[in-house]
A = this chain, B = another copy of it.
C-alpha cells in the first residue's frame, strides 16, 4: 500500500493527514483493494453503495444508458479521485450510473459506515477524514450549482454573460482569464462551439466585452 502514498497525498479525501496516520487509518477502516481489467464493470447502475471508491491507478468511466440504450459518458475518474461517494452517503438512493474500467485499474474501497462512525478514541485524523468528506461534497456542490446557473439560461448569449460575469466576480476585476479554450468553454456551457464563437464576437462588436485568447474584459455599458 505504501507505493500509493504519492496518490494519497494528492487525494482530497486525505488532505492534512500524515503518511503514518494514513497507513494506520486504512487498516482501522479495513480498506479493501481490487483490480479490474479494461472494460470490466465495477458497479452496475441501481446498486446500493455501502462504500466509497478511490482510484489508485488507471481510470474509470461513469456512464448512463437511457431507456433506448443510448450511452452517455458522464465522467472520467482518475487516480486519487473518488466515485460513489454521494450515493454511499445517502444509503437509500441507488447509484444512477454504471462504473466501468476505462483501462486496467486498481481501486481502494472504504466502508462509508466506518468513515461516518467515529471510532471511540485517539483518532484525531478520523475527524479530519470526515471534514474532508464534507469538504469534497460541498465543493462538488459549488461546482454543480455554478454550472447549472450558467447552463440554465436559455440563450448562448446569456450563458456566456452569466459565466463571464461570474468569472469576473471571482477575479474581483472586470479583466480576467478563463481556464478554458473555446471548445472546452462550449462543452462546459453545453452549446455549439462555432455558434458560441460568433456570439462572442457579436458581443465584442456591441461593445459589451473585449477579449484576446483566454483574457476577457467586461465593459460597463447600459443595458436597454
Contact B67 A149 (CB under 8 A): no
Chain A stretch 168-221: residues in CB contact (< 8 A) with chain B = 168-169, 174, 190-192, 218, 220-221
Query: How many Å from the CB of A48 to the closest CB on chain B?
Result: 14
For A68, give its contact among B142, B166, B223 (CB under 8 Å): B223
Chain A stretch 124-179: residues in CB contact (< 8 A) with chain B = 127, 130-131, 133-135, 137-142, 144-149, 151-154, 161-162, 164-166, 168-169, 174
Q: What is the interface of chain A mostly: helix, strand, loop, or mixed?
A: helix
A-B contact pairs, 23 of them (CB 8 A): A66-B162, A67-B164, A67-B165, A67-B169, A68-B161, A68-B221, A68-B223, A72-B149, A86-B145, A89-B134, A90-B135, A90-B138, A96-B146, A116-B130, A116-B131, A118-B127, A134-B137, A140-B141, A144-B145, A151-B152, A153-B190, A154-B190, A154-B191
